[in-house]
Amino acid sequence: MSQPITPLASIFPLPLGEGQGEGAKPRSTTEQPALAPAWHHSALTLTASAPFHGVFAPEVLLPSLLRLCAQSSHVVEGHTLHRFEPQGASLFLHGPRLRLALHTWPERGLATLDVACADADADALVDAVCLALALRVSERHRVCPSERDGGAE
Partner 1 sequence: MLGWHWILDALDCDVAALCDREALARALVEVPDALGLTRVSQPQLFEHRDGPDGARTLAGVILLAESHFSLHARPHLGALHADLFSCVPFPASAARDALRRYYPFTRATEQVLHRGEGRR
Q: Is 40 in the site for partner 1 (CB under 8 A)?
A: no
* Interface residue with partner 1, options 39, 53, 72, 123 (CB under 8 A): 39
Contact between 49 and partner 1 by CB under 8 A: the answer reads: no
Q: Is 58 in the site for partner 1 (CB under 8 A)?
A: no
Total residues contacting partner 1 by CB under 8 A comes to 49
Q: Are residues 28 and 34 in contact, defined by beta-carbon separation less than 8 angstroms?
A: yes
Asked if 138 interacts with partner 1 (CB under 8 A), we say: yes
Identify the burial level of 89 via C-beta atoms within 10 angstroms of its C-beta, where 0-12 means exposed, 13-18 middle and 19 or more buried: buried
- Give, rounded to a whole angstrom, the gap between the first and last alpha carbons of the chain: 5
* Contacts of range 21-29, beta carbons closer than 8 Å, 24 or more positions apart: 25/148, 25/149, 25/150, 26/145, 26/148, 26/150, 28/148
For residue 32, state whether it binds partner 1 (rule: CB under 8 A). Answer: yes
Nearer to partner 1, 64 or 146 (CB): 146
Order of strands across the sheet with 135-144? Answer: 78-83, 89-95, 98-105, 110-117, 40-48, 135-144, 149-152
Contacts of partner 1 in 80-99 (CB under 8 A): 80, 82, 84, 90, 92, 94, 96-97, 99
Instruction: Return d(Cα 34, Cα 61) in angstroms, integer.
Output: 36
Q: How far is the CB of 124 from partner 1 (least distance, A)?
A: 19
Q: Can you give the binding site for partner 1, defined by CB under 8 A?
A: 1, 3, 5-6, 8, 11-14, 26-30, 32, 34-35, 37, 39, 41, 43, 45, 47, 77-78, 80, 82, 84, 90, 92, 94, 96-97, 99, 101, 103, 105, 110, 112, 114, 118, 138-139, 141, 143, 145, 148, 150, 152
